[in-house]
Amino acid sequence: MGYTHYWTLEPVKYGAQEWRHRVELCQMIMAKASADVMLDHAFTDNRRVCFNGVGDLEHDTFVIYREVEFMQEVFDEHKPWTLKMLDGTTMHSNPGDQSCKTARKPYDTVVTACLCVLAEIGLAVRSDGDLADWLAGMALASEVVGRAIEFPIKERESA
Protein backbone atom coordinates (compact mmCIF):
# COMPACT_ATOMS: atom_id res chain seq x y z
CA MET A 1 0.00 0.00 0.00
CA GLY A 2 2.93 2.35 0.42
CA TYR A 3 4.24 4.30 3.38
CA THR A 4 1.07 5.37 5.17
CA HIS A 5 -0.09 6.77 8.51
CA TYR A 6 -3.48 5.72 9.88
CA TRP A 7 -5.70 7.10 12.61
CA THR A 8 -9.14 6.47 14.05
CA LEU A 9 -11.47 9.16 15.22
CA GLU A 10 -13.53 8.32 18.24
CA PRO A 11 -16.85 10.16 18.20
CA VAL A 12 -15.97 13.43 19.94
CA LYS A 13 -13.70 11.99 22.60
CA TYR A 14 -12.49 15.49 23.46
CA GLY A 15 -14.16 18.87 23.76
CA ALA A 16 -14.29 21.69 21.26
CA GLN A 17 -11.88 23.83 23.29
CA GLU A 18 -9.22 21.10 23.39
CA TRP A 19 -9.68 20.48 19.66
CA ARG A 20 -9.22 24.22 18.93
CA HIS A 21 -6.03 24.24 20.98
CA ARG A 22 -4.69 21.25 19.00
CA VAL A 23 -5.64 22.92 15.70
CA GLU A 24 -3.68 26.00 16.84
CA LEU A 25 -0.70 23.74 17.56
CA CYS A 26 -1.01 22.22 14.09
CA GLN A 27 -1.11 25.74 12.61
CA MET A 28 2.07 26.58 14.51
CA ILE A 29 3.69 23.35 13.30
CA MET A 30 2.72 24.18 9.72
CA ALA A 31 4.10 27.73 10.05
CA LYS A 32 7.34 26.56 11.67
CA ALA A 33 7.88 23.91 8.99
CA SER A 34 7.14 26.28 6.10
CA ALA A 35 10.77 27.45 6.05
CA ASP A 36 11.86 23.90 5.17
CA VAL A 37 8.75 22.29 3.69
CA MET A 38 6.44 23.94 1.17
CA LEU A 39 2.81 23.20 1.97
CA ASP A 40 -0.13 23.46 -0.41
CA HIS A 41 -3.87 23.36 0.21
CA ALA A 42 -3.09 24.24 3.83
CA PHE A 43 -5.97 25.34 6.00
CA THR A 44 -7.48 24.71 9.40
CA ASP A 45 -10.83 25.48 10.96
CA ASN A 46 -13.04 24.24 13.79
CA ARG A 47 -13.64 20.96 12.00
CA ARG A 48 -10.44 19.99 10.18
CA VAL A 49 -6.74 20.33 9.51
CA CYS A 50 -5.64 19.99 5.88
CA PHE A 51 -2.39 20.28 3.89
CA ASN A 52 -0.16 18.60 1.31
CA GLY A 53 3.30 18.99 -0.17
CA VAL A 54 3.82 21.06 -3.33
CA GLY A 55 4.41 19.89 -6.89
CA ASP A 56 6.54 16.75 -7.12
CA LEU A 57 6.72 16.74 -3.31
CA GLU A 58 2.97 16.23 -2.83
CA HIS A 59 1.25 12.91 -2.33
CA ASP A 60 -2.03 12.26 -0.46
CA THR A 61 -3.56 15.34 1.13
CA PHE A 62 -3.49 15.11 4.93
CA VAL A 63 -7.00 15.88 6.16
CA ILE A 64 -8.11 15.15 9.69
CA TYR A 65 -11.62 15.86 10.91
CA ARG A 66 -12.74 16.44 14.47
CA GLU A 67 -16.08 14.71 14.04
CA VAL A 68 -16.90 11.49 12.26
CA GLU A 69 -20.33 12.88 11.38
CA PHE A 70 -18.79 15.84 9.53
CA MET A 71 -16.48 13.52 7.63
CA GLN A 72 -19.49 11.50 6.50
CA GLU A 73 -21.21 14.69 5.27
CA VAL A 74 -18.17 15.47 3.13
CA PHE A 75 -17.39 11.95 1.93
CA ASP A 76 -20.50 9.84 1.42
CA GLU A 77 -18.39 6.83 0.46
CA HIS A 78 -17.10 6.63 4.07
CA LYS A 79 -19.75 4.24 5.30
CA PRO A 80 -19.01 1.21 7.46
CA TRP A 81 -18.39 -2.00 5.54
CA THR A 82 -17.50 -5.60 6.25
CA LEU A 83 -15.49 -7.70 3.82
CA LYS A 84 -15.32 -11.49 4.11
CA MET A 85 -11.88 -12.73 3.08
CA LEU A 86 -11.20 -16.02 1.26
CA ASP A 87 -9.60 -17.48 4.40
CA GLY A 88 -12.84 -16.89 6.32
CA THR A 89 -11.65 -13.87 8.29
CA THR A 90 -13.47 -10.57 8.06
CA MET A 91 -12.24 -7.01 7.74
CA HIS A 92 -14.31 -4.10 9.02
CA SER A 93 -14.22 -0.44 8.17
CA ASN A 94 -15.30 2.40 10.39
CA PRO A 95 -16.16 5.87 9.10
CA GLY A 96 -13.67 7.20 11.63
CA ASP A 97 -10.77 5.31 10.05
CA GLN A 98 -8.58 7.67 8.06
CA SER A 99 -5.13 7.55 6.49
CA CYS A 100 -2.55 9.56 4.60
CA LYS A 101 0.03 8.06 2.26
CA THR A 102 3.03 10.42 2.23
CA ALA A 103 5.61 8.27 0.44
CA ARG A 104 8.13 9.71 2.94
CA LYS A 105 8.07 13.05 1.10
CA PRO A 106 9.18 16.13 3.09
CA TYR A 107 5.67 17.03 4.30
CA ASP A 108 5.65 13.71 6.19
CA THR A 109 7.45 15.54 9.00
CA VAL A 110 4.47 17.92 9.34
CA VAL A 111 1.99 15.01 9.16
CA THR A 112 3.74 13.10 11.94
CA ALA A 113 4.11 16.26 14.07
CA CYS A 114 0.38 16.98 13.82
CA LEU A 115 -0.50 13.36 14.55
CA CYS A 116 1.74 13.54 17.65
CA VAL A 117 -0.11 16.51 19.15
CA LEU A 118 -3.51 15.08 18.22
CA ALA A 119 -2.64 11.67 19.70
CA GLU A 120 -2.26 13.37 23.08
CA ILE A 121 -6.01 13.94 23.16
CA GLY A 122 -6.92 10.39 22.26
CA LEU A 123 -6.49 9.98 18.51
CA ALA A 124 -5.52 6.34 17.90
CA VAL A 125 -2.52 6.40 15.53
CA ARG A 126 -0.84 3.62 13.54
CA SER A 127 1.84 3.84 10.88
CA ASP A 128 3.84 1.84 8.40
CA GLY A 129 6.83 3.72 9.83
CA ASP A 130 8.77 3.05 12.99
CA LEU A 131 10.25 5.37 15.59
CA ALA A 132 13.11 6.44 13.29
CA ASP A 133 10.57 7.61 10.70
CA TRP A 134 8.82 9.76 13.31
CA LEU A 135 11.82 11.43 14.98
CA ALA A 136 11.78 14.60 12.82
CA GLY A 137 8.02 15.06 13.37
CA MET A 138 8.36 14.46 17.10
CA ALA A 139 11.19 17.03 17.27
CA LEU A 140 9.10 19.59 15.36
CA ALA A 141 6.07 19.01 17.61
CA SER A 142 8.27 19.18 20.73
CA GLU A 143 9.74 22.48 19.61
CA VAL A 144 6.29 23.97 19.04
CA VAL A 145 4.74 22.79 22.32
CA GLY A 146 7.87 23.45 24.39
CA ARG A 147 8.23 19.97 25.87
CA ALA A 148 9.13 16.45 24.81
CA ILE A 149 6.53 14.70 22.68
CA GLU A 150 6.29 10.93 22.93
CA PHE A 151 6.08 8.46 20.07
CA PRO A 152 2.30 8.15 19.65
CA ILE A 153 2.22 4.51 18.61
CA LYS A 154 1.93 2.47 21.77
CA GLU A 155 1.70 -0.99 20.26
CA ARG A 156 2.68 -2.26 16.87
CA GLU A 157 -0.20 -3.57 14.81
CA SER A 158 -0.10 -4.57 11.22
CA ALA A 159 -1.55 -1.56 9.43
Task: Specify the number of domains making up the chain.
Answer: 1
- Return the H-helix or E-strand segment holding 85: none
Count of other CB atoms within 10 angstroms of residue 81: 11
**Is 65 inside a domain boundary?**
yes
pLDDT in tens, the chain (159 residues): 589 999 887 655 667 788 889 889 999 999 998 767 878 778 787 778 888 888 888 898 898 877 654 444 444 444 554 444 455 544 444 545 788 999 999 999 999 999 999 999 888 899 999 999 999 999 999 999 999 999 999 765 544
Please count the other Cβ atoms lying within 10 Å of the Cβ belonging to residue 96: 20
Residue 131 lies in a domain: yes
Whole-angstrom Cα distance, residue 56 to residue 54?
6
The pLDDT score that the predictor gives to residue 104 is: 94
Is residue 90 assigned to a domain? no
In a domain, 150, yes or no: no
Q: Within a domain: residue 81?
A: no
16 assigned to some structural domain: yes
Half-sphere exposure of 122 toward its Cβ, with a 13 Å CA cutoff?
A: 11
Can you give the residue range of the structural domain that contains 121? Answer: 4-73+95-145
Query: Is residue 79 in a domain?
Result: no
pLDDT attached to residue 44: 81
pLDDT at 69: 47
Q: Is residue 86 part of a domain?
A: no
pLDDT in the model for residue 105: 94
